[in-house]
Amino acid sequence: MAITVVGSVAFDSIETPAGRQDRCLGGAATYFSLAASFFTDVRVIAVVGEDFGPAEEAVFNARRIDTRGIERAAGKSFFWEGSYLDNLNEAKTHITDLNVFAAFEPKIPDAYRDSEFLFLANIDPVLQRRVREAMPDVKLVAGDTMNYWIKDHLAALKQVLKGLDVLLINDTEARMLAGNNNLVQAARGVLAMGPKTLVVKHGEYGATAFFSDRSFSGSGEALVSHPFRAPALPLEEVVDPTGAGDSFAGGFFGYLASQSELTPAKFRRAMFYGSVMGSFAVERFGTARLQELTRQEIDERFILFRELTHLD
Ligand code: AMP
């Protein structure tokens, strides 16, 4: 089943303890699509500027990602500059230039209309909401956001949260959104804002899913009252953490979209596939590792993840 994703397609300048890379292809929708494309068909809605050329387009085409919904506009693409010099788990943002995204009016190609899954990747919540409203028939909607939007665009974000089946955010964002430092209480607060299920990402420590009594309603599955945690792989070197969260989301949602039904067991596996994709993304700068990845490597790492926490 196909996923439509709306989110940033960007150029990133990144500095980490491993070095610096200027203007590499990035953006939340880019990482998400590359990761999800190993599991199912992906269709992107975004806008890029005149600096987005054939080399960037080829990255999507190589994974057979549908780019008919990536609009070309006069001007420059979204640009983000950040560093991770003190803390590999949290980016320090230096520059966010929305550029062509500032005046973006998302249009959904007819060929995308039968998508059953919708992912609202990190971007202005006003745009996320417009796309959500234009695709009312999707079966499952998940979304992401970040501190930038939580701080200054909370009212618009709250409208988006009301329509989400699954929200994926990192732990500092969950605490910030709920205004509560205790993760379990913060999760309860976020679930009360609308999402049926919350997935909290902990950077190099994995991710935790929190469920509500609406998480599996309609599927005939029993309520899961306790949280579920997937580990992250302890890696010898993290070259560039950018895109780990979006790649987690791509693996997680891509796996779910490739399954015929959403059960608690499938959900738990999806958390592991998310962690697998996040662990690859950080091994090289930008999208380089995802571009060269194979399905066999994903399957081998999935087994490694099981062994990481298996008791008997
Ligand atoms: P993450 O998975 O959280 O590391 O996401 C990193 C990606 O998010 C980068 O490739 C950036 O281009 C993109 N990004 C950074 N800030 C924003 C923002 N305010 N809105 C949308 N995308 C962003």
* Backbone torsions φ then ψ of 170, nearest 5 degrees: -90, 170
Instruction: Encode pLDDT of 119-156 as tens digits.
Output: 999 999 999 999 999 999 999 999 999 999 999 999 99
Do residues 12 and 23 make contact, with C-beta atoms less than 8 angstroms apart?
yes
**What confidence score (pLDDT) does residue 217 get?**
81
**Positive or negative torsion for Cα 29, 33, 34, 36:** positive
pTM, two decimals, is 0.97
Q: How far is the CA of 261 from the centre of ligand 1 (A)?
A: 30
**Ligand 1 pocket, residue 245 CB under 6 Å:** yes
Task: Give the closest residue (by CA) to ligand 1 atom 6.
Answer: 243
**In 65-161, which ranges are continuous DSSP H helix?**
125-134, 147-152, 154-161
Whole-number average pLDDT of the chain: 96
From the centroid of its chain, how far is CA 170? 11
Domains of the chain: 3-309 (3.40.1190.20)
Instruction: Encode pLDDT of 183-195 as tens digits.
Output: 999 999 999 999 9
Q: How far is the CA of 312 from the centre of ligand 1 (A)?
A: 40
Ligand 1 nearest atom to the CA of residue 242, by list position: 4
CA distance 122 to 145: 5
**Ligand 1 pocket, residue 244 CB under 6 Å:** yes
Ligand 1 nearest atom to the CA of residue 281, by list position: 2
**Ligand 1 pocket, residue 148 CB under 6 Å:** yes
Q: Which residue among 95, 146, 252 is best mutated to probe the pocket of ligand 1, counting the most ligand atoms within 8 A of its Cβ?
A: 146
Measured torsion, CA atoms of residues 269, 275, 277, 280, in degrees rounded to the nearest 10: -140
Element (H, E) at 190: helix 183-191
DSSP state of 286: T
